[in-house]
Amino acid sequence: MTETATETLAKTAVDLPWNVVVHNDPINLMSYVTLVFRRVFGYSTEKATRHMLEVHQKGRSILWSGARERAELYTQQLHAHLLLATLERE
Amino acid sequence: MPDPFLPVTITLYNRQRKYRIPLAGLRRLAPELLRAVAAHRPGPETPALPGLEEVEVTFVSDATIARLHQEFMDIPGPTDVITFAHGEIIISTETAFANAPLYGRSFPEELALYITHGLLHLNGYEDTTPAQAREMGAAQETLLSQALAKEAHD
């Protein structure tokens, strides 16, 4: 019993996180992108603005990392707001 | 003479279709405005402008600016211009078109005035109190006239 439990834990621990990545696009207003980050992730204006500027200046930003299902949901929500978002694994 | 403000670029975008705007003229004028504003700082505090690489000016509809007005400032309804410290100036062409005749200005002048207003905010000007608003109002009129005169001269 104990052994099985340990194995399960070890598997979970090495499961790599999925990254929600937003890419730069020439269409959306910077302030609109900030707004979407606030709404989808519940980030503060400051944090959302930092990510928006990273997208703007470096071309991409990792908005969130974690379990696959949640990452997929966030990516879909970003698409619904017409942002260029992808799901990547580290 | 080296331009102390060359690192900051100013780019204009049109994201509305309701009014034809004189983009080419405004694009010539904008760097003059940037230079004029950069030389005018109201106080000792370090404003956002010198730290920016670029300033983006975007012309939008009343509907778009109203959404940003509500979301970021909690105020319903459209407005003339909204300035973000990250170097973004959003201007409503519909509000500019409606306001221009009220202030005896042409539509292009009204748009140029809003660009000046946004740049002054980025360089530390505020308009929260009546005294601040008067100071800022005087500065934007002066700097706009200077830039228009310089552009006409060049």
pLDDT tens digits along A1-14: 455 555 666 555 56
Chain B: give the shortest CA distance to residue A10, in Å: 44
Contact B82 A53 (CB under 8 A): no
pLDDT tens digits along A11-51: 555 678 999 999 999 889 999 999 999 999 999 999 999 99
What count of Cα atoms within 13 Å lies in the side-chain half-sphere of residue B92? Answer: 19
Alpha helices in chain A (DSSP H): 2-14, 30-41, 45-58, 68-80
- Closest by Cβ to A49, choosing from B58, B86, B90: B86
- Domain residue limits, chain A: 15-89
Q: Residue A47 has which token pair?
A: 């944090």
Sort out which chain B residues have CB atoms less than 8 A from A45's CB and list them: 72
pLDDT tens digits along B99-133: 999 999 999 999 999 999 999 999 999 999 999 99
Q: Residue A27 has which token pair?
A: 């269409």
The residue whose two tokens read 């959404």 is B67
- Domain residue limits, chain B: 9-153
Asked casually if ipTM beats, i.e. exceeds, 0.85, the reply is: no
Chain A: give the shortest CA distance to residue B140, in Å: 24
Contact B72 A52 (CB under 8 A): no
Chain A: give the shortest CA distance to residue B61, in Å: 13
C-alpha torsion sign, points B23, B142, B78, B50: positive
**Long-range Cβ contact pairs of B20-23 (< 8 A, separation 24 or more):** B21/B59, B21/B93, B21/B107, B21/B108, B21/B111, B22/B108, B22/B111
Pick the CATH number of B9-153 from 3.90.470.10, 3.30.465.10, 3.90.1150.10, 3.40.390.30: 3.40.390.30
User: Residue B39 has what pLDDT?
Assistant: 87
Contact B9, B54 (CB under 8 A): yes
| CATH architecture assignment, domain A15-89 | 2-Layer Sandwich (3.30)
Contact A51, A63 (CB under 8 A): yes
Q: Residue A86 has which token pair?
A: 């992808």
What amino acid occupies position A37? F
Tally C-beta pairs within 8 A across A and B.
Answer: 27
What is the CB neighbour count within 10 angstroms for residue B45?
A: 7
Question: Which residue in B has a C-alpha nearest to residue A44's C-alpha?
Answer: B72
The backbone torsions φ and ψ at residue A25, rounded to the nearest 5 degrees and listed phi first, read -140, 155
Determine contact: A52 vs chain B, CB below 8 A: yes
